[in-house]
């Protein structure tokens, strides 16, 4: 009998504790939502995308800017060494500047990547290095320093999109941003499940990264006008491949759709 009432008493205490926990939890949520409203934060936005419209929780999304480096966008770098007209990549710069500014304003996580290799080329596959004219290969000296080598002026990100000191920069030896980098660890540690992907080139490093991300369970949204290619037809095909078959690798949206949603406060 004593044991029974003792049991009931402890049950009551547990119930009371549970209710208090519940109250604390609800109070926390209420305070967070009041805080969001006061600070004008907008955790979720909805906007048009292909193949279907999207709703994104900004706290779980990161803007990932792929390889907007002088080596790809300016004359004398790796892009030109490969025989490309680098001026074609300029199309992505102005739209990306707007998206970057909006993401920073919203306090979104912004991650930049750079393709490049160690000065001793120990992380560069020989077949990648041996391609093309020896005078313009990876590691050769060009007007922006050694081509595609970490620490050289050409390897750095263009001034228009330069990272802030608290924005992670991922140095990657390959085309995909997940290969031999700590990008996945960073995203998982921060509870990120959605990547808004921009950068160059659409069909090479952007596509490779999106495919890697998709296989790892991240939702990818590629901003079409914030990506560019040396080949317009590859840009179009690169985007088409991502959004085809019900969004086999991810979604594609125009940057204005995202900017409008952020500006208008469209919530899901």
Interacting positions 143-182 with ligand TIU (CB under 6 A):
175
Using the rule CB under 6 A, give the single segment among 35-43, 55-63, 86-94, 196-204 that binds ligand TIU: 196-204
Q: Is 28 a catalytic residue?
A: no
How many residues make contact with ligand TIU (CB under 6 A)?
A: 10
CA max distance for the chain: 93
Q: Among residues 42, 61, 64, 67, which is the contact residue for ligand TIU, using CB under 6 A?
A: 67
Q: Is 182 a catalytic residue?
A: no
CB 251 within 8 A of CB 223: no
Q: Is 243 a catalytic residue?
A: no
Number of Cβ within 10 Å of residue 91's Cβ equals: 17
Catalytic residue chosen out of the listed positions 71, 156, 171, 205: 205
Give alpha helix (H) positions in the chain.
2-39, 70-73, 78-81, 93-106, 126-129, 183-189, 207-215, 232-247, 255-264
Sheet of strand 194-200, all strands in order from the earlier edge strand to the far edge: 169-172, 109-115, 61-66, 194-200, 219-228, 251-253
User: Binding mask 5-34 vs ligand TIU (x if CB under 6 A, - otherwise)?
Assistant: ------------------------------
Q: Is 74 in the site for ligand TIU (CB under 6 A)?
A: no
CB 98 within 8 A of CB 256: no
Cα–Cα distance measured from residue 177 to residue 113, given in angstroms and rounded to the nearest whole number: 7
CB closer to ligand TIU out of 42 and 113: 113
Q: Is 86 in the site for ligand TIU (CB under 6 A)?
A: no
Output the residue with the shortest Cβ distance to ligand TIU: 205
CB 200 within 8 A of CB 229: yes
Cis omega (within 30 of 0) for bond into 201: yes
Q: Is 201 in the site for ligand TIU (CB under 6 A)?
A: yes
Using the rule CB under 6 A, give the single segment among 14-22, 25-33, 197-205, 241-249 that binds ligand TIU: 197-205
Cβ neighbours for 91, distance < 8 A, ≥ 6 positions apart: 225, 228
User: Binding mask 93-132 vs ligand TIU (x if CB under 6 A, - otherwise)?
Assistant: ----------------------x-----------------
Phi-psi region of 65 (alpha: psi -120 to 50; beta: other; left: phi over 0): beta
CB closer to ligand TIU out of 103 and 204: 204
State the catalytic residues: 67, 172, 205
What are the residues binding ligand TIU (CB under 6 A)? 67, 72, 82, 115, 175, 200-201, 204-205, 230
């Amino acid at each position: 009998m004593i044991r029974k009432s003792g049991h009931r008493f402890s049950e009551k205490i547990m119930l009371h504790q549970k209710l208090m926990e519940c109250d604390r939890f609800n109070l926390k949520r209420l305070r967070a939502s009041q805080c969001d409203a006061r600070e004008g934060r907008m955790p979720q936005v909805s906007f048009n995308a292909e193949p279907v419209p999207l709703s994104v929780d900004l706290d779980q999304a990161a803007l990932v800017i792929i390889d907007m480096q002088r080596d790809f966008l300016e004359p004398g770098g790796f892009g030109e060494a490969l025989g490309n007209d680098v001026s074609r990549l300029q199309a992505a710069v102005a739209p990306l500047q707007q998206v970057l500014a909006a993401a920073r304003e919203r306090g979104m996580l912004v991650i930049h990547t750079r393709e490049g290799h160690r000065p001793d080329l120990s992380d560069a596959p020989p077949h990648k290095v041996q391609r093309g004219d020896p005078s313009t290969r990876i590691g050769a000296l060009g007007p922006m320093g050694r081509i595609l080598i970490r620490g050289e002026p050409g390897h750095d990100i263009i001034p228009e999109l330069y990272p802030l000191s608290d924005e992670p920069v991922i140095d990657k030896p390959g085309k995909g941003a997940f290969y031999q980098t700590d990008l996945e660890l960073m995203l998982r540690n921060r509870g990120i499940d959605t990547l808004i992907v921009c950068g160059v080139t659409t069909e090479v490093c952007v596509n490779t990264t999106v495919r890697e991300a998709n296989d790892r369970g991240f939702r990818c949204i590629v901003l079409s006008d914030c990506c560019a290619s040396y080949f317009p037809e590859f840009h179009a095909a690169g985007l088409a491949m991502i959004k085809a078959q019900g969004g086999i690798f991810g979604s594609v949206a125009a940057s204005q759709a995202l900017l409008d949603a952020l500006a208008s406060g469209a919530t899901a």
